[in-house]
Amino acid sequence: MNINVPEIFAENVFSDAVMKDRLPKNVYKTLMKTIQNGRQLDMTTADFIANTMKEWALEKGATHYTHWFQPLTGSTAEKHDSFIAPATRGTAIMEFSGKSLVKGEPDASSFPSGGLRQTSSARGYTAWDPTSYCFVKEGSLYIPTVFLSYTGETLDKKTPLLRSMDALSSSAVEFLKLFGNDNVSRVTSTVGAEQEYFLIDKDMYDKRTDLILTGRTLFGAKPPKGQELDDQYFANLRPRIASYMADLDEELWKLGIYSKTKHNEVAPAQHEMAPIFTTSNLGTDQNELAMEVMEKVALKHNLICLLHEKPFEGVNGSGKHNNWSMSTDDGQNLLDPGDTPMENLQFLTILCALIKGIDEYADLMRISASSAGNDHRLGADEAPPAIVSMFLGEELDAVLKAIEEDTVYKTQTQAFEIGVNALPSFPKDSTDRNRTSPFAFTGNRFEFRMVGSSDNIACPNALLNTIVAEELSEFTEILKPFKNTDKFESEVKNLMKNVLKEHRRIIFNGDGYSLEWIQEAERRGLPNYPSTVDAIPHYTDEKNLRIFKKFGIYTENELKARTEVLLEKYSKTLRIEARTMIQMARKQLLPATLEYIRTLCDTIAVKNQIGISAVVESKTVKKLNDLAEAFYESIENLEQLVNDACEIKEVLVQARFFREKVLSEMERMRTTSDTIERIMPSDKWPVPDYSAMIYNV
Ligand code: ADP
Ligand code: MG
């Protein structure tokens, strides 16, 4: 199979190139202005674009169009309308107006809104987001949109992200002027989301109700071999996986996604796909799309792609490393240290803004990665811990120390005075870099590693942008009086010094998994929220509300609504998991155990009759019978606890009850079942075991 990548790349995207090619110059120009300045499109222009878009989509085989949006459910939503319109004598024509492009009115009453939208006034509307690209997929033209209530409250994940990008841009443009960047008029946040996933055989999956209903295994004894030999990471690709990945690349490329890197991950059956970074808003859409394509392509290979954060106990879970930076419209990457003393100074100041921001709003970063699924990663025995800290690397740390202590930064051969000499370039991506840090500097960007593999990246990026917007605007306030004076540099250094003194505690270059770090972090006063339920209530803390309001990201109502939706989702997830466990236990696992006990008892009876020893059978029966009793009791307990939980009206109290009571009973029940599984013969256990699932592809 020979594919011409440049030829197929973005063939299904109404890309910039297509627009430039097909739209009249003035229409194209108006559209670009709209995109850059967020202005409203006039209807004539919209009509023109819609018609061109339709013609193009028809050529690509589309018959329908859909407003594609990202509600608070966590997945994407779409409703398809055909282009069809009646014409004379019962014939049909294909039509698409500017109005239909720009605005849609899905019946929105079933999407979560956290009480923002009473069902009596259930109307919400979708509005075209021209900063992202339309594309054709499976016979429909997809139009990326934002989703709002008629009173203007946000009901989706994209709107806050777009607002945060604007806020960051305004703050950063002002800030950069202090450093003589008078030509910068727009700063855009960028993201490259490395996506981890598991692949397992579909036949196995189909036999596991837990995977089907919850995306993770709720039972399952650990296999004799896990990931301890480290023989999976970057291992050569088995043929079935390689063929899946080749197919995936092709599909992603056609949709304009720059899929770049693919490899096996640490856990058996775990893999990764990383695209080349792009703007946060396009990156978010593309990540949502990539996840969907990953699942669909898997089916063609009789595989299932699991995006859950923790499909299997005992081996690593999956995350989504959110690589983040900022680019200016004159081509600077603001997290690149640069080559001149002034560029260095600007970079170091921005770095200090991040240090201060991440320290002051560590809770928001934690919240942005909170979900029931991700609780099994963060704060459990794996990467990264639930405590937010920052890793800068040795060299950079030494530079900051020199600033803080008013000394000169020295390498083995040279000394550098900040603002006077140019710093040596810092190693990018050195292989020894710290992989246990939740927020690590990697040479020209930060890698936020807490995000869960199934999560929408809009939220983490929106919060990060808002935090940085706040710090940069604060820095600008402080430094503005000294702009273009000979005091500027010393004031910058002063500011950095103060920030470092106060916020150094967020920097941690050691092992983030260690127990010592948890104790050390506590001494430093860093927040540690081990679970979603501990983290989410801090969303509406006064200091957080303040910056969301200041930059128009969320109103108090919107924020409260989101808090409620997140907590409700947490409780619902656990309720489904608990009920799935009860069902599997009652209908499959316990009956199989009892059946085996019966078989053994029959054998014992026969052996007794003919007078030969049945010691093995008797011992096994005794063991299994005790376990079966405990199992039965656990089922009854869990059922009672879930019923009790459902009676609780207050969302936070309910979520806490699920976390504290229901989850621990689920864990107890699993331990019992896994012990039984280890004793039972393979052919008597009614569901595929771990070895079969993770070593079979
Ligand atoms: P690693 O596994 O070593 O972390 P990868 O190559 O898998 O590295 O992923 C690095 C990711 O960081 C890629 O998605 C890449 O495009 C992204 N990236 C690089 N530069 C930037 C930047 N300036 N802004 C955002 N993301 C970036
Ligand atoms: Mg990585």
Tens-place pLDDT, residues 263-273: 998 889 999 99
Predicted confidence at residue 692, as pLDDT, reads 95
Q: How far is the CA of 70 from the centre of ligand 1 (A)?
A: 24
Q: Is the pLDDT of residue 452 over 50?
A: yes
Predicted confidence at residue 119, as pLDDT, reads 46
Ligand nearest 335 Cα, by number?
1
The residue whose C-alpha atom lies closest to atom 19 belonging to ligand 1 is: 277
Q: How far is the CA of 325 from the centre of ligand 1 (A)?
A: 10
Q: Is the pLDDT of residue 252 over 50?
A: yes
Q: Is the pLDDT of residue 373 over 90?
A: yes
d(CA 573, CA 677): 25
Which residue among 276, 431, 445 is best mutated to probe the pocket of ligand 1, counting the most ligand atoms within 8 A of its Cβ? 445
Q: Taking all residues of the chain, what is their mean pLDDT, rounded to a whole number?
A: 94
Q: pLDDT band for position 353 (50/70/90)? A: very high
Digit-coded pLDDT (tens) for 307-319: 999 999 999 999 9
Predicted confidence at residue 236, as pLDDT, reads 85
Q: What percent of the chain has pLDDT over 70?
A: 97
Predicted confidence at residue 117, as pLDDT, reads 58
For the Cβ of 234 lying below 6 angstroms from any atom of ligand 1, the answer is no
What average pLDDT does the segment 141-163 reach? Answer: 94
Q: Using the atom order of ligand 1, give the atom closest to the CA of residue 323.
A: 26
d(CA 239, CA 236): 9
d(CA 129, CA 170): 20
Predicted confidence at residue 431, as pLDDT, reads 43
24-60 b/e (C-beta count within 10 Å ≥ 16 → b): eeebbebbeebeeeeeebeeebbbbbbebbbebbeee
For the Cβ of 271 lying below 6 angstroms from any atom of ligand 1, the answer is no
Predicted confidence at residue 433, as pLDDT, reads 63
Q: Using the atom order of ligand 1, give the atom closest to the CA of residue 274.
A: 14
Predicted confidence at residue 382, as pLDDT, reads 72
Digit-coded pLDDT (tens) for 642-696: 999 999 999 999 999 999 999 999 999 999 999 999 999 999 999 999 999 999 8
C-alpha distances in Å from residue 415, one per residue of 141, 317, 398:
59, 44, 12
75-110 b/e (C-beta count within 10 Å ≥ 16 → b): ebbbeeeebeeeeeeeeeeeebebebbbebebebee
Predicted confidence at residue 101, as pLDDT, reads 96
Q: Is the pLDDT of residue 432 over 80?
A: no
For the Cβ of 194 lying below 6 angstroms from any atom of ligand 1, the answer is yes
d(CA 234, CA 213): 31
Predicted confidence at residue 334, as pLDDT, reads 98
Q: Using the atom order of ligand 1, give the atom closest to the CA of residue 336.
A: 23
Q: How far is the CA of 595 from the centre of ligand 1 (A)?
A: 53
- According to DSSP, residue 88 is labeled G
For the Cβ of 157 lying below 6 angstroms from any atom of ligand 1, the answer is no
Q: Is the pLDDT of residue 254 over 90?
A: yes
Please indicate whether residue 608 or residue 105 has the higher confidence score (pLDDT): 608
Predicted confidence at residue 506, as pLDDT, reads 97
Predicted confidence at residue 64, as pLDDT, reads 98
Digit-coded pLDDT (tens) for 500-547: 999 999 999 888 888 899 999 999 999 999 999 999 999 999 999 999
Q: pLDDT band for position 561 (50/70/90)? A: very high
Contacts 24+ apart (CB under 8 A), 222-229: 222/313, 222/314, 222/674, 222/690, 223/314, 223/689, 223/690, 223/691, 223/694, 223/695, 224/691, 225/268, 225/691, 225/695, 226/267, 226/268, 226/314, 226/315, 227/266, 227/267, 227/268, 227/315, 227/316
